[in-house]
Amino acid sequence: MTDYRAPVSDMTAALSVVGMADIASLPGYEDASDDMVAAILEEAGKLAGSVLSPLNALGDRQGCSITEDGRVTTPDGFPQAYQQFVEGGWNGVPFDPDFGGQGLPMLLGTALFEMWQGANMSFGLCPMLTVGSIELLTHHGSDAQKSTWLPKLISGEWTGTMNLTEPQAGSDLAAVRTKATAAPELGEGIYRIQGGKIFITHGDHDMSANIVHMVLARLPDAPQGIKGISLFIVPKFLLNEAGEPGDPNDLRVVSLEHKLGIHASPTCVMAFGDKGGAIGYLVGEENRGIEYMFTMMNNARLAVGVQGVGIAERATQAAVSYAKDRVQGPDPAKREKVSVSIIHMPDVRRMLMTMRALTQAARLITFQTAAEFDRAKAHPDEAVRATAEARAALLTPIAKAWSTDVGIQVANLGIQVHGGLGFIEETGAAQYLRDARIAAIYEGTNGIQAIDLVGRKLIRDRGTALSELVAEMRTTQADLTQVLPDLGQAFGLALDDVEAAQAWILENSDPVNMQSAATPFLNLMGLATGGWLLGKLALNAKAGTGDPNHDTARLTVAGFFLRQLLPATGGHLAAIRAGAEDLMALDEDALSPV
């Protein structure tokens, strides 16, 4: 089984492509110098490789357990590893210094987050939800709520969760039934929460002193549907006068879900208010909970995309290591019938090159998205902030859906490279696929991401944000054509497909055609965006970065992607133009094979 090694060199190159130097020049981010970034990546890589990675397989085998009194226990070593994580200040890297954060760019935090996910995805899920809770309270919490909850969440001493889903309300949050009843005797803005939630990641565990649940619930007189849902802070332990965890709140873990993967991450069925009502604190205004929760969800969607990158990186490392060692068959490039390792075989090379190219492309997309969030937050020019906000909104569903699909595809290829041993748990290859599979489902399934991309990000503004992105991509195409003509030509054809797809969708924007086109359009955009950023990486490598071996490797990987993977945009365009007729032609009974 191969240990994880943080890909610091590839991350540094990707940060350069998406403009880390420009981000570091923005007000508030001046501390993110090249030396500081390099030092942080190096130290984070040590934690990921030496502390988190060795727990990955153990956690998968051991899983989590629940005691008779409802306490959840994580696998051996997880609480101690989490304390090292907190003591190192890793949770607070991208957050407000006024509440104990380090004030560094989200882009740098995204690179670190990839390390946590690649080293140990089950572990990385805990700080992932905490980050979302911090973003939510930063944007929508009152000053009192910020001062009460943010310092311990930013430090990581307390962790956060997101409580949306109920048995009858999966992605349809309008069906939420959890109730909130005002408790004026306890104070203004305090409510009693009653109801049940499912699929709550790290809903309970033994790694932090308190768990701060963000819970969607409905007031008695609230409007029906999605506009009648409010958001509440519901801590595991109520705070005493000193602001420390005191009496337990009226909530409990009913059970743990038995899952395909991420066994070391407790996914909880939660009950609130069995003894009269869990104490909850209203965030913001009544009936605006969905609006507020989307701040947390948008952050989580990018983070989930980074999970896909992390798993893909780890699966690629394992597959390359195995292919170097596995001797089987003669070298097809030589006449001698001497057995060589399978990395000499062209078909194995195709799999490995596909894994590496897809991983690089997905990393660049998630980094680019994070960079746009930083620009939208910190750039002094209001017009630039607005453009970056629109760009981030456009890229987020691509970063989430395409990158998690890449995680699954790359982990699946990793099993294939291992052959029969990939199907055996001891090699670790199977765990990567099992862990990766959930990422295409949670925080909005990838189909929902595709519908969001087409319905909200393309049709709503009639393609304005996309056209601006394509114009920037055309500039890169022109640069490629000057320096690397064949790559420029390949990228130009893909951009033609993007523009043709956009035109077709805008002309056929009824709900059925729009939804039928959504997934192939997202796949097309993932390839085109990955091609754009890999093209920029190739230009940097061609100009020279100081390490000829790395430059050659990056040029080769980018060339493989643009020449051999990017042409698939034409197939996605054909699927878009085929419309909904084939999809909707059969009635429900005819779809059944019996």
Question: Which structure tokens are listed for 28?
Answer: 């508030």
Contact status, residue 414 vs residue 434, Cβ threshold 8 Å: no
pLDDT grade for 525, boundaries at 50, 70 and 90? very high
Q: What is the distance between the alpha carbons of residues 94 and 23, in angstroms, rounded to a whole number?
A: 13
- Alpha-carbon span 413 to 256, nearest angstrom: 30
Q: What's the number of CA atoms in the CB half-sphere (13 Å) around residue 159? A: 24
DSSP, collapsed to helix, strand or coil, labels residue 380 as: coil
Residues 395-417: pLDDT tens digits? 999 999 999 999 999 999 999 99
Q: How far is CA 286 from the centre of its chain?
A: 29
3-state secondary structure 83-152: HHHHHCCHHHCCCCHHHCCCCCCHHHHHHHHHHHHHHCHHHHHHHHHHHHHHHHHHHHCCHHHHHHHHHH
Closest by CA position to 103, among listed 483, 317, 378, 348:
378
- Residue 147's pLDDT band (boundaries 50, 70, 90)? very high
Rounded distance, CA 535 to CA 477, Å? 8
pLDDT score recorded for residue 108: 98
- CA–CA dist 376, 77 (Å, integer): 39
What is the pLDDT, as a whole number, of residue 594? 75
Every domain of the chain and the residues it spans: 53-88+120-287, 450-585
Element (H, E) at 14: helix 8-17
Q: What is the pLDDT of residues 292-342, one digit of tens each?
A: 988 888 888 999 999 999 999 999 999 999 999 999 989 998 878 889 999
- Predicted pLDDT of residue 169: 77
pLDDT value of residue 298? 81
Is residue 65 classed as helix, strand or coil in its secondary structure?
Answer: strand
- Residue for token digits 């311990």? 152
Give residue 593's pLDDT.
Answer: 79
Question: Is pLDDT of 68 > 90?
Answer: no
Strands 158-163 and 179-182: unpaired
- Which of 516, 497, 504, 513 has its CA nearest to residue 463? 504
Q: Can you say how many angstroms the Cα of residue 545 is from the centroid of all Cα atoms in its chain? A: 29
CA distances 433 to 326, 366, 407, Å, are: 21, 20, 8
Per the prediction, the chain carries an average pLDDT of: 96
* Burial class of residue 297 in the structure, from the number of CB atoms within 10 Å of its CB (0-12 exposed, 13-18 middle, 19+ buried): buried
Q: Which residues are catalytic?
A: 443
Token couple for 190? 């305090």
Give the CA distances from residue 71 to residues 251, 268, 273, 377, in Å, rounded to whole numbers and listed in that order. 11, 11, 17, 39
Contacting residues for 320 by C-beta, under 8 A, at least 6 apart: 343, 352
Q: Which CATH number fits domain 53-88+120-287: 2.30.30.60, 2.40.110.20, 3.40.50.80, 1.10.1740.10?
A: 2.40.110.20
Q: What sign has the CA pseudo-torsion 550, 553, 556, 560?
A: negative
Query: What does 192-241 look like in DSSP terms, one character per residue?
Result: EEEEEEEEEETSS-SSSSEEEEEEEEB-TTPPSGGGG-EEEEEESEEE-T
Report which listed range, 179-188, 292-301, 540-549, is most confident: 179-188
- Asked if 301 contacts 400 with a C-beta cutoff of 8 angstroms, the reply is yes
Distance, CA of 106 to CA of 112 (rounded, Å): 10
Task: Reduce the DSSP state of residue 153 to 3 states and report it.
Answer: helix
CA distance 460 to 202: 36
Helices 511-543 and 346-378, axial angle in degrees (round to 10)? 100
Look at the chain and count its residues.
594
Instruction: Quote the CA–CA distance of 430 and 84 in Å, as a whole number.
Output: 28
- 143: exposed, middle or buried (C-beta count within 10 Å: 0-12, 13-18, 19+)? exposed
* 440-495 pLDDT per residue, tens: 999 999 999 999 999 999 999 999 999 999 999 999 999 999 999 999 999 999 99
- H/E run at residue 339: strand 339-341
* pLDDT tens digits for range 71-123: 999 999 999 999 999 999 999 999 999 999 999 999 999 999 999 999 999 99
What is the per-residue pLDDT for 485?
A: 98
Structure tokens at 235: 């801590």
Residue 200: band (very low, low, confident or very high) from pLDDT cuts 50, 70, 90: very high
pLDDT band for position 144 (50/70/90)? Answer: very high
pLDDT at 388 over 90: yes
The encoded tokens of residue 231 equal 């958001």
Nearest to 509 by CA among 576, 554, 436, 592: 576
- Residue 19, pLDDT > 90, answer yes
Tokens of 116: 């946590």
**Model confidence, pTM:** 0.97
Q: What is the mean pLDDT of residues 165-188?
A: 88
